[in-house]
Chains A and B, each alone.
Chain A
Amino acid sequence: MRKKLLFVLLATGLVLAACGSDDTSTGGGSGTTAGTATAATFPAGSTMDAIQKRGKIVIGTKFDQPLFGLKALSGQPEGFDVEIAKLVATAIFGSNLSGKTEFVETPSSVREQSIIDGKVDLVAATYTINDTRKEKVGFAGPYYVAGQSILVKKDNTAITGLDSLSGKKVCTVLGSTPLKTLQTRAPAADLSILFDTYSKCVEALKDGRVEAVSTDNVILLGFIKDNPGLFKLVGETFTVEPYGIGVKKDDLAFRTFVNDTLEKAYTDGTWAKIFETEVGKATEIPTPAPPPLDRY
């Protein structure tokens, strides 16, 4: 905790002093091919203009979410959220992002405050759009729709989705939202085996103590990646968690700009390519169609 706090303070200091060292993205690499080669020009006073003049965009993401935002041993965060955020950076700076992106860890509890305080320009951190949050921040996107799903062993044919969980041992975390969802949507499922962490559920699944694990598909995808060839997801997702890019609440121009950037990536295939590279390859799941943008 103290370490994290220190990091946040340090990161904030770097931003304020605008003299951060080079521990930023080397950028320009994967997923940014669609960007324009030269930087665009923006109306004076706009957020895009301010970022461009500053020479650096500060992006809040998760550092501990496999496939979406994970800080690798190399020190560079990587994942789907990271590449989506880099699309915005590319739209501002052009395709050479070297030294122009700075990633700050924004765990779930600090995302709104980081945006409100201006510690970050945008947040792409498995950030579900909902009305409570819309009162504090603005959301571009959604750029991905996550939802609760079911993980089973690869050779399991008995469980095909939410409707086939009756009498089956399904594991999730004690006291969690996914547990409540299962209790109402699959009341006949056997929910006697519950743990305090999802990794224990996955161990129990490996050992055959339970037949399925259920929570958000993004978490489950991380387990598929960590255990190649062992598991698969079955059925449709049965909750809706649209992931958006968080920006300042009243900055409509920047929100529109991010939405335009996403729309361009939807139509020219960049979005699909990023999904394929960051998520599809490691988990063998098909690339979905990009979700329709919600320009409110």
Chain B
Amino acid sequence: MGVLLDNLGAFGEGLRTTAALTLASYLVALLVGTLVAAMRVSPIAPLRWLGAVWTEVLRNVPLTVLFFVFFFGFTKIGVSYVPFISAVIVLGCYTSAFVAEAIRSGINSVAPGQAEAARALGLTFAQVIVAIVLPQALRTVVAPLGSLFVALIKNTSIAFTISVVELTRVVKELASVTGEAIPLYLGAAVAYLLLALPSSAAIGAIERKVAIRR
């Protein structure tokens, strides 16, 4: 227990990075995921294909591999960012594939008559999606999007493989220096819970607030 208190500063720093990494990646995931979901239901075939390829590639390749390929591989073609930004891009894009699938299922739950009526009134495809379909679709997928947020909190721990100094890396480093792995990893578990539990509560609240009353 003492080892945790002695290193509270480093621990807090790691926790802060993990939180920042989660929030930034989730923002990227929501924006990209929504865009990809819209692409997948668009009337333009190449856009649909592109959306499908994006989703299938990203969600079917292990995260560790994506980290490695982006951080080390893309550098060779001139795409190079510092570890933190690289991690945001990788985690954001990876999660966006799952977000896109969740939103697409939400879109499919909106009665087709809604979109048809909107089209009949002369709205463009973009207007139909933004003003009519997505507001209804997003309400129904708050719970799965919330689950993705919680999964993302835990996925940030893989960022240590590209040397981001987040919570897991701090714990690994402290464990190797002090040799007291068990209290440190238990501390990490508690810290991840501290991030995830309030998130789950917030998601529940949002879900109740935006639920469509039928």
Chain A contacts to B: CB under 8 angstroms: 174-176, 179-180, 192-196, 200, 203-204, 207, 209
Q: Which residues of A contact B80 (CB under 8 A)?
A: 207, 209
Contact, CB under 8 Å: A207 / B172: no
Tell me if B176 and A192 are in contact (CB < 8 A). no
- Taking a contact as CB atoms closer than 8 A, the residue among B75, B161, B176 that contacts A195 in the complex is B161
Determine if B212 is an interface residue (Cβ-Cβ < 8 Å). no
With a cutoff of 8 Å between Cβ atoms, the chain B residues found around residue A209 in the complex are 75, 80
Pairs A-B, 3 closest by C-beta atoms: A175-B176, A207-B75, A203-B72
| Docked-complex contact B169 and A174, CB < 8 angstroms | yes
Chain A residues closer than 8 Å to B147, beta-carbon distance: none
Measured CB to CB, the nearest residue on chain B to A179 is B176
Asked if A174 and B173 sit within 8 Å, CB to CB, the answer is yes
Inter-chain residue pair count (beta carbon < 8 A): 36
B160 on the interface (CB 8 Å rule)?
A: yes
**11 pairs, CB–CB < 8 Å, chain A vs chain B:** A174-B176, A175-B172, A175-B173, A175-B177, A176-B176, A193-B163, A194-B163, A194-B169, A195-B161, A195-B162, A207-B80
Interface status of B15 (Cβ within 8 A of chain A): no
Q: How many residues of chain B get a CB closer than 8 Å to chain A's CBs?
A: 17
Q: Among residues 193 to 210 in chain B, which have CB atoms less than 8 Å away from a CB atom of chain A? A: none
Q: How far apart sit A181 and B80, CA to CA, in the bound complex (Å)?
A: 30
Considering the chains assembled together, what is the distance between the CA atoms of A193 and B176 in angstroms? 16
Residues from chain B with Cβ under 8 Å of A174 in the complex:
160, 169, 172-173, 176
B163 / chain A contacts, CB cutoff of 8 Å: 192-195
B214 at the interface (CB under 8 A from A): no
Closest CB in chain A relative to B169 CB, distance in Å: 7
- Contact: B72 with A207, CB < 8 Å? yes
Smallest CB separation, B142 vs chain A (Å): 36
A15 to B198, CA, bound (A): 62
The interface residues of chain B lying within 8 Å CB-to-CB of A179 are: 176
- B169: nearest chain-A partner, CB-CB: A174
Option from B165, B172, B175 in Cβ contact (under 8 Å) with A192: B165
Residues of B within 8 A of A180 (CB): 177
Task: Give Cα distance in the complex from A78 to B177, angstroms.
Answer: 36
Mask, B143-178, CB within 8 Å of A = 1, is 000000000000000001111010001001101110
Closest partner residue, chain A, to B161 (CB atom): A196
- Complex alpha-carbon distance, A195 and B163, angstroms: 6
Report chain A residues within 8 Å CB of B161.
195-196, 200
Write the residues of chain B forming the contact surface with A, with a CB cutoff of 8 angstroms. 68, 72, 75-76, 80, 83, 160-163, 165, 169, 172-173, 175-177
With the chains together, A193 CA to B169 CA distance in Å? 11
Q: How far is the CB of A174 from chain B (nearest CB, A)?
A: 6
Q: In the complex, what distance in Å separates the CA atom of A221 from the CA atom of B173?
A: 26
Chain A residue with Cβ nearest B165 = A192
Question: Once the chains are docked, how many angstroms separate the CA of A209 from the CA of B160?
Answer: 16
Residues of A with C-beta under 8 A to B176:
174-176, 179
B179 to chain A, nearest CB (A): 10
Q: Which residues of A contact B160 (CB under 8 A)?
A: 174, 196
* Chain A residues with CB below 8 A from B162, complex form: 195
A174 and B170 CA atoms in complex are apart in Å by 10
Within the complex, the shortest CB–CB distance from B96 to chain A, in Å, comes to: 25
Residue of A nearest to B80 (CB): A207
Bound complex: CA A175 to CA B174 (Å): 8
Residues of chain A within 8 A (CB-CB) of B83 are 193
Compute how far the CA of A290 lies from the CA of B172 in the bound complex, rounded to whole angstroms. 39
Determine the distance from Cα of A200 to Cα of B73 in the docked complex, in whole angstroms. Answer: 11
Please name all residues of chain A whose beta carbon is closer than 8 Å to the beta carbon of B177 when the two chains form the complex: 175, 180
Of chain B, the residue at the smallest CB distance from A180 is: B177
* Cα(A217)–Cα(B83), bound, Å: 27
The CA-CA distance from A174 to B171 in the complex, in Å, is: 11
Q: A174-B160, A193-B163, A194-B163 are in contact. Are A207 and B173 (CB under 8 A)?
A: no
Q: CA separation between A209 and B76, bound complex, in Å?
A: 12
Q: Are B72 and A200 in contact, with the CB atoms below 8 A? A: yes
Give bound CA distance, A175 to B75, whole Å. 26
CA gap between A209 and B163 in the complex, in Å: 11
Which residue on B lies nearest to A175, using beta carbons? B176
A204 to B177, CA, bound (A): 24
- Cα(A236)–Cα(B165), bound, Å: 31
Q: Which residues of chain B are near A207, meaning CB under 8 Å?
A: 72, 75-76, 80
B65 to chain A, nearest CB (A): 13
Q: Give A42 to B210 CA distance when docked, in angstroms.
A: 91
State in angstroms the CA–CA spacing of A36 and B162 once bound together: 54
Closest chain-B Cβ to A73's Cβ sits at a distance in Å of: 26
- CA–CA, A192 and B160, complex, Å: 11
Instruction: List the B side residues contacting A194 at CB < 8 Å.
Output: 163, 169, 173
What B residues does A203 contact at CB under 8 A? 72
